[in-house]
Structure 1
Amino acid sequence: MTPEPLTAQPRTANMPPALTLTPERLRAWAWHKQGLDGSLAGCTSEQVFAQAGWARSVGGANPYLTLFARAGIRREQVDADVLSHRILELPTARGCTYVLGRDDCAWALMLGKDAGEAFRVLGRLGVDRGEITLLEEQVLHTLAEAAAPLDPRQLKEELGDSVRNLGEEGKKKGATTTLPTALGILQSQGRIRRVPANGRLDQQRYAYELWNLPPSPLDDDEARAELIRHYLGWTGGATFKQSQWFTAFTVAQSKASLAAAGAVEVPTAAGEMLWMLPDDVERLATFREPAHEQIQLLAGTDSLALLRRNAAELLAAEDQHTNALGSLALQADLPDHPIFDRGRIIGLWQYDPGRERIVPWVFHAPTPAVTSRIAEVEAWIREDLGDFRAFSLDSPATRQKRIDALAAAAAGSAAAR
């Protein structure tokens, strides 16, 4: 049944006037909602992901920095949390992979990419559904007999001829064998889980083990409403379009989910309408913006920017027109990692492992607080990670052009001052 068109809910008692919801205030509000103001200090990994949002995982270091920036959690503890299954890496919203707390796993898996979509590619290559079903059962049997998690190569060796090579035509369609589809279906059903082969989240090598996660008691509509409720809590408010980008819901699904979550529509000084949770509307009306610097270096895929893909809104108006910044200000996803002060992007950075240092470009003269935080994150990367990879294929060689560009921009800004 198609839901009725969603209309703005009644104004709450303490609805803030639109003129007060300036870009500056909304940046500081999002900063607070993300726990980057120190409010999540001392929290566990699970608590950070529950409050600030799941950490996007693409074989990069974002999950580690997400936890270090908000709660000071070091890599050793994060890896221990992964090993003990307190946090897990799963495909969920839009079929993308995130690191999240175990309490969210069952309903979050329901939001992952439809397993049937992956099979449709195999169907066009002449693979019968029964063949994949049989392979799934053989995978489960093999993992049950294994003394430790098995990576795809080991599984392929164990399964032998049960895994079919799909030849050149399969390569063209991104399906070289039938094994990845079987693994994807089993993972989406919570019957197996993918674990880092060496225990680290920033190195794209995985193995699989049995899981048998109990199914969520929620139905599909309830799971979508749960995601919207979490999403609006993580962001502090988002436009309809931004929520659709993150969730990949249809217009009808988005409207139904917002209504089920009790979301209200709030006008801003810029003329946008933000959907917010009623409790957050009340809190925003009395929210006090931080008076002093709060500096953080974050990953380009940090939830603060990624959940709404609004990097341009996180720049001050004068910085959007900085010559050296150029078209970067117009990009939804910045090519470098951002430096923030209370929700405003004040610079960009990359890590140069050869010199074991961060290469920053701060748009204006760096304050002692900025210099100090850069040094702290630089030391953390050296001691905990060794390098800071943005994604699985990131390497010192591939990022050298960006490192050089940042160094040149920083030199130009210093000369201009």
Structure 2
Amino acid sequence: MSTSNLIARIEPEKLTPELLRAWSWNRQGLDGRMAGLTAPAVLDAVGWARSVGGANAYLTLFARAGIGRAEADAALAEQDIHELPTARGCTYVLPASDYAWGLQIGHSSAEAAVKVLLRLGVQSAEIESLSQEVLQVLRGVRGTDKEALDPRGLKEILGDKVRNLGEEGKKKGASTTLPAALGLLQADGRIRRVPVNGRLDQQRYSYVAWELESTGDGDDVVRARMLERFLRWTGGATLGQIRWFTAFTVAQAKAALLAVGAVEIATAAGDQLWLRPVDVTELAAFEVPSAEDIQLLSGSDSLVLLRRNSADLFDEAGKSAVAGMSGSALAADLSDHPILDRGRIIGLWQYDPENSRIAWWTFAPASPAVRERIGQLEQWITEDLGDFRSFSLDSPASRAKDIAKLDARRLA
């Protein structure tokens, strides 16, 4: 009997949007089963936490395992977790077990920055020379009171070894040669950047020397590992969703799917999902939990970001409620943060630091469980984080209009 004959068969009509939302909720560990796990264990199980200078990484850990900022920051300081450039060249917070191959997945983005310099007339030898100079400087300051150096400090030491690329460079996003050299060194695991205040919800960094061993694996092996993780984190995804997250070509994605033995299954909505065989078996027996299960998540939480499918998490009533609402409604990327019940978006929220409160709106009257969870998260943000930014440039002033809109809708 072939392996394919041993895989459970699921009729498409069973895979309704409601069931698939709850299934994703389960795969993402939002059902309470991760309580007590460490930060790296959570990130390994549910996926890397997107980091753009916002608080998503903290809420990712708090929502799933009750991990507070002090514990998360301690894991960061011990290098049990780290913010690194990986898939698509984007930065995520990874567990230590994924550092080397995560960097390898994103290495082409660092190479792309070097290609910009080459088009500006910078020679490869100059970039390599600058990289070696940076590495020498950072290795030389170990054990001193300048163990980490920010880009300005590096430029002061390196002097004219860092070339200014003028107006033409600015137009192409490369004012000097330093960022490309830093990116290449980081992608090679030879340096790492650390937040200046030890927190994940900001974007001011210094650099220290690093000696991360490479995987020793070919890119095809690493791509298969990425796909296996991605399918485990999501519980299944379309080819388009796979390619969006990984930036694989069609040929690379199909080769990785073959390498992990993924199978394709049709849904009631007509989508074609790729799943690991073990997840097909579990999905065949999965039922939507009957009890209400409420979470407030970040708009860039893995539940919505990995597949960039936030519109799928609204039911028809939710879609109707947000119809015509700009910015956050049915967009690929949520700007307001979601309130969810077993994977279904039932409302939106923002944090108002001026009044130490959560501004929120639910599409139907809020249940006691919703109000309780809002209160819990409000207290945690106020006491543990102080604010909840979506990204580095987010500020109380920039979200004031969104807060006012949520208040108006809730009180209407």
Fold match (TM-score > 0.5): yes
Identical-pair percentage:
59
Matches within 5 A, 1:226-375: 226-322=225-321, 326=325, 328-375=328-375
Matches within 5 A, 1:338-417: 338-412=338-412
| Residues 272, 87 of structure 1: alpha-carbon distance in 2 compared, 3 angstrom cutoff | same
Contact 1:61 1:201 in 2 (8 A): yes
Q: Which residue of 2 aligns with 1:74?
A: 68
Matches within 5 A, 1:137-176: 137-146=132-141, 147=144, 148-176=147-175
Question: Aligned pair 1:59/2:53, yes or no?
Answer: yes
Q: 1:90 aligns with which of 84, 107, 126?
A: 84
List 4+ stretches of structure 1 deviating above 6 A. none
Amino acid at match of 1:80: A
Contact 2:107 2:188 in 1 (8 A): no
Question: Aligned pair 1:117/2:112, yes or no?
Answer: yes
**What TM-score results when the alignment is normalised by the length of structure 1?**
0.95
Q: Which residue of 1 aligns with 2:38?
A: 44
CA distance in 2, matches of 1:340, 1:27: 10
TM-fit CA distance, 1:19: 1.0
Q: Which residue of 2 aligns with 1:130?
A: 125
3-state SS of the aligned residue for 1:395? coil
Amino acid at match of 1:198: N
TM-fit CA distance, 1:325: 5.7
Q: Which residue of 2 aligns with 1:190?
A: 189
Gaps of 5+ in 1: 1-8, 413-417
Contact 1:324 1:409 in 2 (8 A): no
Aligned residues: 404
Q: Deviations over 1:151-199 (max 9, x none)?
A: 1111111111111111122111111111101000000000011111110
Q: Which residue of 2 aligns with 1:29?
A: 23
3-state SS of the aligned residue for 2:194? strand
CA distance in 1, matches of 2:5, 2:410: 46
Contact 2:7 2:280 in 1 (8 A): no
Q: 2:14 aligns with which of 5, 16, 20?
A: 20
Contact 2:231 2:237 in 1 (8 A): yes
Q: 2:101 aligns with which of 91, 101, 107?
A: 107
3-state SS of the aligned residue for 1:218? coil
CA distance in 2, matches of 1:323, 1:258: 36
Contact 1:12 1:281 in 2 (8 A): no
CA distance in 1, matches of 2:304, 2:7: 30
TM-fit CA distance, 1:13: 3.8
Amino acid at match of 2:267: T
CA distance in 1, matches of 2:68, 2:85: 24
TM-fit CA distance, 1:393: 0.5
Contact 1:170 1:177 in 2 (8 A): yes
Gaps of 5+ in 2: none
CA distance in 2, matches of 1:326, 1:352: 20
**What TM-score results when the alignment is normalised by the length of structure 2?**
0.96
Contact 2:7 2:277 in 1 (8 A): no
TM-fit CA distance, 1:125: 1.9
